[in-house]
A and B are shown apart, each in its own frame.
Chain A
Amino acid sequence: EAQVTQNPRYLITVTGKKLTVTCSQNMNHEYMSWYRQDPGLGLRQIYYSMNVEVTDKGDVPEGYKVSRKEKRNFPLILESPSPNQTSLYFCASSLGALGRRGRLDGYTFGSGTRLTVV
């Protein structure tokens, strides 16, 4: 089944303790992205990746890191989490950012990771 898999689904951690949220897709998608979803703010993009070893900042990258060493994986790293990073996080992937005539196909989203930093 074609899907984007995120782990863990729920995580409670303490301020300053490094954590990684994993994201893996099995659709050979080039484009992957991380969003955070907060009430009243919708989805805000944290980082995105056009392809292996190609990553760039989204709208709210502060406090986050990403890597794209393999096409299928795009982990989100919080080196020193803080309470304002408490949020619902979604990983998403898409076939390509630049398809025919520059189209971006719709995303496939992961199931989300609810992170609480105390």
Chain B
Amino acid sequence: AQSVSQHNHHVILSEAASLELGCNYSYGGTVNLFWYVQYPGQHLQLLLKYFSGDPLVKGIKGFEAEFVKSKFSFNLRKPSVQWSDTAEYFCAVKGGSYIPTFGRGTSLIVHP
């Protein structure tokens, strides 16, 4: 069975600070990995996805994530956050099953 863990439940940063949100998954085979963002009052939107190839994936709005197979991790990063990045962030993994598993989410608050 596949599972995913997001370590940080709440993160508070000031504008221009660097961001790294942790995501670890559990699955022994090939995986597809995703990060979604949910802005306040809105639905989830895909930030970026990894299927294969270059382990450093660039997404929208300046976000990137790195797939480290040896660590079963897919951490999300942004060098300089903005107030508009305040949102909830979800990591998701799809391994052998058809069903992607979502993490419980990390709430990010960015102070201006």
The answer, yes or no, to whether B14 is at the interface (CB within 8 Å) is: no
Give residues of chain A (96-114) contacting chain B, Cβ–Cβ below 8 Å: 97-98, 101-112
In this assembly, does A48 line the interface, its C-beta being within 8 Å of a C-beta of chain B? yes
Interface residue count for B (Cβ, 8 Å)? 22
For the side of the interface on A, what is the size category?
20 to 34
Which residues from chain A contact B102 at a C-beta distance below 8 Å? 35, 42-44
The A62-118 residues at the B interface (CB cut-off 8 A) are 90, 92, 97-98, 101-112
A35, A50, A90, A104: residue with the most chain B Cβ atoms closer than 10 Å: A104
Closest Cβ of chain A to B107, distance in Å, is 10
Residues A43 and B90 in contact, CB atoms below 8 Å apart: yes
A107 adjacent to B44 (CB under 8 Å): yes
Question: Would A104 and B90 count as touching, CB distance under 8 A?
Answer: no
State the A residues within 8 Å of B (CB): 31, 33, 35, 40-45, 48, 50, 58, 90, 92, 97-98, 101-112
Q: What are 14 sample pairs from A and B whose C-beta atoms fall under 8 A apart?
A: A41-B104, A43-B90, A44-B102, A50-B98, A58-B99, A101-B52, A104-B94, A106-B34, A106-B46, A107-B44, A107-B100, A109-B43, A110-B43, A111-B42
